[in-house]
């Protein structure tokens, strides 16, 4: 499954609201979500 939405900036509030909006149809199936920031993973692997 891939869901995408264009956001005006990378600020956490706007991104969080976009995620909530995209997952609204799945709300009854979800208990938690985990998000990984790719940059943090790259830093860990260096």
pLDDT at residue 37 in the model: 67
Please say whether the beta carbons of 22 and 2 come within 8 A: no
- This prediction's pTM: 0.64
pLDDT tens digits, residue range 14-34?
Answer: 888 998 999 999 999 999 888
The answer to whether residue 2 sits within a structural domain is no
pLDDT at residue 13 in the model: 87
pLDDT at residue 45 in the model: 47
Full domain range(s) for residue 21:
13-45
pLDDT at residue 11 in the model: 86
The answer to whether residue 7 sits within a structural domain is no
The answer to whether residue 3 sits within a structural domain is no
- How much of the chain, in percent, has pLDDT values that exceed 90? 35
Please say whether the beta carbons of 21 and 5 come within 8 A: yes
Rounded Cα distance, 24 and 1, in Å: 14
- What's the total number of domains in the chain? 1
């Amino acid at each position: 499954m891939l869901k995408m939405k264009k956001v005006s900036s990378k600020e956490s509030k706007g991104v969080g609201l976009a995620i909530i909006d995209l997952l609204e149809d799945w709300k009854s199936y979800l208990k938690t979500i985990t998000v990984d920031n790719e940059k943090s993973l790259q830093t860990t692997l260096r």
